[in-house]
A and B are shown apart, each in its own frame.
Chain A
Amino acid sequence: MATESSESEEEGKISGGNEKLILDDDLREMGKNAAWSVSSCKPGNGVNTLRDDNLETYWQSDGLQPHLINIQFQKKVRLQLVALYVDFKLDESYTPSKISVRAGDGFHNLKEVKSVELVKPSGWVSVSLSGTDPRETFVNTFMLQIAMLSNHLNGRDTHIRQIKVYGPRPNPIPRQPFQFTSTEFLAYSTLR
Chain B
Amino acid sequence: MESLLVNSVEKNLTQFMFSNAIFLCERLLADFPSEVNLQLLARCYLSNGQPYSAYYILKGSKTPQSRYLFALSCFKLDLLGEAEAALLSTVEQQIPGGAAGHYLLGLIYRYAGRKNSSVEQFRIALSCDPLCWEAYAQLCSLGVAEEASTVFGNVAAQRLQKTHVPQRINFSEGETKDQLIDSDKASKDISVWQTEHVPGENQQDLKVKQLGAEIPPDTDNQRNASSHTNGWDLNTPSPVLPQVLDVPPPMLYKNMRRPEVEGLMSVHGEPRKKFVCEEESSEAPEESRRRRSARIAAKRKIPMFHHSPSESNGVPSLSSMIGKCRIQSSKEATTSGQSINDTGSSVDDEQNSNPRGSSLDPFSLMSGISEMLNLLKILGDGHRSLHMYNCQEALLIYQKLSEKQYNTHWVLMQVGKAYVELQDYFSADSVFTLAHQKYPYALEGMDTYSTVLYHLKEEMRLGYLAQELIAIDRLSPESWCASGNYYSLRKDHEAALKMFRRAIQLNERFTYAHTLCGHELAALEDFEDAERCYRKALSIDTRHYNAWYGLGMTYIHQEKFEFAQHQFQLALQINPRSSVIMCYFGIALHESKRNDEALKMMEKAIVADARNPISKYFKANILANLGDYHKALKVLEELKDSAPQESSVHALLGKIYKQVKLYDKAVLNFGIALDLNPSTSDAVKIKACMERLIVPDELETEEDL
B-contacting residues of A (Cβ < 8 Å)?
A: 24-26, 28, 78, 80, 134-135, 137-138, 168-169, 172, 174-192
Contact = CB atoms under 8 A, between A and B. Distances in A.
A174 B676 CA distance: 21
Interface in B480-516: 485, 491, 516
Contacts of B648: 176-181, 185
Contacts of A26: 679-681
A135 B688 contact: yes
A191 B651 contact: no
B631 interface: no
Given A168-B680, A188-B580, A177 B652 contact: yes
Contacts of A182: 643, 645-647
A168 B679 contact: yes
Given A169-B679, A182-B643, A188-B614, 5 more contacts: A25-B491, A168-B681, A169-B681, A183-B456, A187-B425
Nearest to A187: B455
13 contacts: A80-B680, A134-B683, A135-B687, A180-B647, A181-B646, A184-B646, A185-B613, A187-B457, A188-B614, A191-B546, A191-B549, A191-B580, A192-B485
B390 interface: no
Interface in B407-452: 423, 425, 451
Q: Which 7 A-B pairs have the closest CB atoms?
A: A178-B648, A168-B681, A134-B687, A187-B455, A181-B647, A182-B646, A26-B679
A155 to B, nearest CB: 35
B36 interface: no
A191 B578 contact: yes
A77 B194 CA distance: 58
B655 interface: yes
Interface in B651-692: 651-652, 655, 673, 676-685, 687-688, 691
Nearest to B688: A135
Contacts of A28: 491
Given A182-B645, A183-B456, A192-B516, A172 B612 contact: no
A192 B454 contact: yes
The binding surface of chain B is classed by DSSP as helix
- Please classify the interface of chain A as helix (H, G, I), strand (E, B), loop, or mixed, using the class held by over half of its residues: loop
B104 interface: no
Nearest to A178: B648
B556 interface: yes
Nearest to A26: B679
Most central of B581, B676, B678 by chain A CB within 10 Å: B678
B683 A177 contact: no
A122 to B, nearest CB: 26
B557 interface: yes
B553 interface: yes
B699 to A, nearest CB: 19
B621 interface: yes
Give the residue among B557, B682, B685 with the most A Cβ atoms within 10 A: B682
Interface in B451-465: 451, 454-457
Interface centre among A78, A168, A180 (most CB of B within 10 A): A180
A172 B523 contact: yes
A179 B682 CA distance: 7
Contacts of B680: 24, 26, 80, 137, 168
Contacts of B360: none
Contacts of A168: 679-681
B587 interface: yes
Contacts of B614: 185, 188-189
A147 B557 CA distance: 36
Contacts of B485: 192
Contacts of B556: 174-175
A187 B655 contact: no
A186 B643 contact: no
A17 B17 CA distance: 61
B678 A178 contact: yes
B455 A179 contact: no
B451 A192 contact: yes
Contacts of B581: 191
B591 interface: yes
Contacts of A178: 647-648, 651-652, 673, 678, 682, 685
B519 interface: yes
B580 A190 contact: yes
A137 B613 contact: no
Given A177-B621, A191-B546, A138 B684 contact: yes
Contacts of B681: 26, 78, 137-138, 168-169, 179
B423 A192 contact: no
Interface string B365-395: 0000000000000000000000000000000
Contacts of A183: 456-457
Which of A26, A138, A182, A188 counts the most chain B CB atoms within 10 A?
A188
B482 to A, nearest CB: 12
A187 B423 CA distance: 8
A30 B423 CA distance: 33
A128 to B, nearest CB: 11
B533 to A, nearest CB: 14
Contacts of A25: 491
Contacts of B676: 181
A8 to B, nearest CB: 23
Interface in B611-632: 612-614, 617-618, 621
B546 A176 contact: no
A52 B523 CA distance: 22
Interface string B546-580: 10010001001100000000000000000000101
Contact of A175 (B425, B454, B591, B688): B591
B643 A181 contact: no
A78 to B, nearest CB: 7
A79 to B, nearest CB: 12
A175 B625 CA distance: 11
Given A191-B549, A192-B451, A177 B651 contact: yes
Interface in B574-618: 578, 580-581, 587, 591, 612-614, 617-618
Contacts of B684: 134-135, 137-138
Contact of A185 (B454, B549, B643): B643
